[in-house]
Amino acid sequence: MNKYEEPLIHPDTLSCKFEGELNYEDFVGRHEFINSTGIYVTPMHFYNIYLKFKESDATAAEFVGNYEEKYADLPVEKINLQGTFKYEITDVCISGIDRNSEDVYPNIWEIVDALGCAYYAQRKALDEKNRR
């Protein structure tokens, strides 16, 4: 299903080890969705995509394969990336050096994903605290 030679988000990165994310047995995982469509989505937004999938009459493969053309709410925003993104490897929120394999150096997709997952975890914890 992946239309890219290399995955945008590799399976051994910090965000792939995030355990607080929901998975759906009848749909693809969020990272597979990102790697297949080339569209980055946060864990919170992925839930909305899953609801759209459930409302559709498409198979998971059909839905993901046609997501941008048929199911996205608005045109997908495209940003050309230029220049060099620099960060310190000791900034573990970005580098994942404390959780990634020794030979994994995150690309910009994986850095954004790690930050998105951190925000999602923080948001879930705050929601749980407010429910008490």
* Per-residue model confidence (pLDDT) at position 16: 67
Whole-number Cα distances in Å, 1 to 16, 23, 60, 65: 19, 18, 10, 7
To the nearest 10°, report the CA torsion of 91, 92, 93, 98.
170
* Per-residue model confidence (pLDDT) at position 3: 63
C-alpha atoms less than 13 angstroms from C-alpha of 73 in its C-beta half-sphere: 6
Tell how far CA 41 is from the center of its chain: 5
**Percent of the chain, pLDDT > 90?**
38
* Per-residue model confidence (pLDDT) at position 69: 96
Mean pLDDT of 54-82: 94
CA dist., res. 28 & res. 52, Å (int): 13
| Long-range CB contacts (within 8 A, 24+) of 118-127 | 118/93, 119/42, 120/18, 120/20, 120/21, 120/42, 120/43, 120/44, 121/18, 121/20, 123/44, 124/20
- For 19, which DSSP code? T
Q: Can you give the pTM of this predicted structure? A: 0.81
